A and B are shown apart, each in its own frame.
Chain A
Amino acid sequence: DGGITQSPKYLFRKEGQNVTLSCEQNLNHDAMYWYRQDPGQGLRLIYYSQIVNDFQKGDIAEGYSVSREKKESFPLTVTSAQKNPTAFYLCASSSRPEATQYFGPGTRLTVL
């Protein structure tokens, strides 16, 4: 069964802590993305990766970090430097630049 999995579904974090969100895909896609979604807003790009061991900052990368050591995995770390981290985080992947992006089910992060 091909697709994108994100874990956990819900995540709670205390202020000042780093937290890592998992994203795995078995679609053999080259490109992967992380978006942030806030109520009433569109999706904003945090980071994207076109190939293993390479990634670029999106529009709102401050306070986030990523790695791409394997083609199928693209974890996102929300650091304590992110001032307002409570949001719904979405991972996506696509096979090539002009191809459709497919989304995972999302992780809702709440900072207590």
Chain B
Amino acid sequence: QQQVKQSPQSLIVQKGGISIINCAYENTAFDYFPWYQQFPGKGPALLIAIRPDVSEKKEGRFTISFNKSAKQFSLHIMDSQPGDSATYFCAASTGGTYKYIFGTGTRLKVLA
């Protein structure tokens, strides 16, 4: 019940296309859902995050869609660029705890 299931494991998208990464969870106590971007050999960097009181959050080309009833959330990267090629991790946490549960990551490659 503490798992966050992330798919797909890898994704190849043409430049200008839309990249979509999905995550699903079971624990309804989760109330904070961040996405991290990680380049090879670097630490993850926060990309965008959402709380369950909203269904969508947009920052530039990055959008999180949140479906509370389905216990799913997804990252959409619009107009994908080669510079977006990285590994993306979703995560979930419960208010009052410091513990993040991470998905297993999606390796995105955007072809020029």
Contact = CB atoms under 8 A, between A and B. Distances in A.
Interface of A: 4, 6, 31, 33, 40-45, 48, 50, 58, 90, 92, 94, 97-98, 100-106, 108
B61 interface: no
12 contacts: A45-B99, A48-B99, A58-B99, A98-B32, A98-B93, A100-B46, A100-B49, A102-B46, A103-B45, A105-B43, A106-B41, A108-B41
A4 B45 CA distance: 12
A31 B45 CA distance: 17
Given A43-B89, A103-B45, A106-B41, A97 B105 contact: no
Interface of B: 6, 9, 31-32, 34, 36, 41-46, 49, 89, 93, 95-100, 102-105
A31 to B, nearest CB: 5
B108 to A, nearest CB: 14
A94 B93 CA distance: 13
B10 to A, nearest CB: 10
A103 B43 contact: yes
Contacts, number: 57
Nearest to B95: A98
Contacts of A50: 98
B98 A48 contact: yes
Nearest to B100: A101
B102 A106 contact: no
A50 to B, nearest CB: 6
Given A40-B104, A98-B93, A106-B43, 20 more contacts: A31-B98, A41-B104, A41-B105, A42-B6, A43-B102, A45-B100, A48-B99, A92-B43, A97-B95, A97-B97, A97-B98, A98-B31, A98-B32, A98-B95, A100-B34, A101-B34, A101-B100, A103-B43, A103-B45, A105-B42
Given A90-B43, A106-B42, A42 B103 contact: yes
A34 to B, nearest CB: 12
